[in-house]
Structure 1
């Protein structure tokens, strides 16, 4: 995890519209002036639908990120809310995992005191996601704060069941992210695949699934490929990052992503795989390009 930027801080800043812009808007204009040859998209194999998480590149404005994403052959950008959807559409990109209805990562569906706010937020956001032509909307369990697994499941079901009819009506999938509680998100409840799968079973709706974050689950449970194979029917989306450190997914870290991607493809998965690493290299888009090549099996 970067000392200067973590996901919780970056997402909070982006949602609030106060993310630091490390590159002036002139970057977009300069990028637009490149030749047609330079602007052509990278030709990918088509087995993986590639995306990238907005917060990892929050030092660039959305326009600049869209331009680079398009050049690299990406299908969309993750964790983007309604304010920036028009920019994505202008560049022919999807909002592959929508956000903006959540309170934060710690105040989630496992605590009834947040249900009124969450149900209001998601009831307003679900129709917006559908009207924009998108499908996935992220949600979080929240921190345990002393709650055991059974209490967490019961509370999540109680809150989420009130939203399932609306999600089903609009064909929107609420996707709960699996986050590690050992390193980055202490006390987070949905911190392992079995817990998330059990919640999916109790809700019993195709409009509630999991975001399997490979980085997070390598830290908390390991056994990544076997877990993907056994639980893929409950997974709507994947995130990547290098372990340890959440940086580039290259030879500097312990996971071999080509094998993981092959396992995902072998399950018949047709959703999106989003890069969610924090680039350490000076040329952040070169790191992104390399990560996509590693995952494009």
Structure 2
């Protein structure tokens, strides 16, 4: 994908406005019945990977592809999703970005204000998952960062529990894409979950990021699945489509997720390099339909 618009861009400003992206000419070719799937795993797609579609076009497209949800969509676009009967599988818009998160106490007051308001918005919309981030280390000891994150998140948990909203911290790699990000290993995130001790806090296990940081993906899923409330896919190396140019066996990974009894979403979040993004998404859906 050659566009400079990426996920980091789309994480900014979703609370106050829509994305307003250009229309795509590919949409009419999708006018066909949705494919039949096994339905053992619910699949979603990150809003940014088909960034040339308007949100209305994207909703129609995902329905035609047999999906029922979109990831990383903020409140301005929720009315359009609702009009199409599409779920917001992972809501965003409360965060201060990927680098300014709950590990740094100087951001706690602003984050708490933003997340308290956003928890209400998510609940009132009838959605469930709201993304959050640890932020960067900035020289901080990882254990101190965990303690800080625990303190900040616990200021929100009572309200989240009351409103039925789950705060979901994403595991990201700090080796290639997000230098200095703190929540970069599943062990760190799982320990934070244990300290918080609430079913209204969990982890977004991004398979691409964790393959880069630690590998052993299937074993990690089997060992820690109770803390993983959402999954993202992408190929390694390069965060590209799920094809034979990359090293991950997504059919096996998705069977492992399925076998844990997982009831959430596996969301596709890749940048197609070797094929048309729509074709790549179709192939990913079929591959992960186990």
TM-score (norm 1): 0.92
Distance in 2, Cα, partners of 1:259 & 1:232: 15
Residue 256 (structure 1) aligns with: 249
Structure 2 unaligned runs (5+)?
none
Residue 190 of structure 1 pairs with residue 169 of structure 2: no
Corresponding residue for residue 211 of structure 1 = 204
Are 1:174 and 2:167 an aligned pair?
yes
Aligned counterpart, 2:44: 51
Structure 1 counterpart of 2:152 = 159
Unaligned 5+ runs, structure 1: none
Deviates more, 1:219-228 or 1:282-291: 282-291
Q: 1:14 and 1:280 mapped to 2: Cα distance? A: 27
What displacement does 1:250 show? 1.1
Aligned partners of 1:17, 1:219: CA distance in 2, in Å?
A: 34
Pick from 123, 138, 163: which aligns with 1:145? 138
Aligned to 1:21: 21
The CA RMSD measured in Å over matched residues stands at: 2.0
Query: In structure 2, which of residues 115, 120, 124 is the aligned counterpart of residue 127 of structure 1?
Result: 120
- Residue 7 of structure 1 is matched in structure 2 by 7
Distance 1:165 1:2 in 2: 43
1:266: which partner in 2? 259
2:97 is matched with which residue? Answer: 104
Q: Aligned match of 1:222 in 207, 215, 221?
A: 215
Shift of 1:281: 4.7
Distance in 2 of aligned mates of 1:179 and 1:3: 22
Residue 186 of structure 1 aligns to a residue whose secondary structure is coil
TM-score (norm 2): 0.95
- Secondary structure in 2 matching 1:237: strand
State the 1:19 CA deviation: 4.9
- Runs (4 or more) in structure 1 with deviation over 4 Å come to 13-20
Relative to structure 2, which stretch is displaced further, 244-253 or 256-265? Answer: 244-253
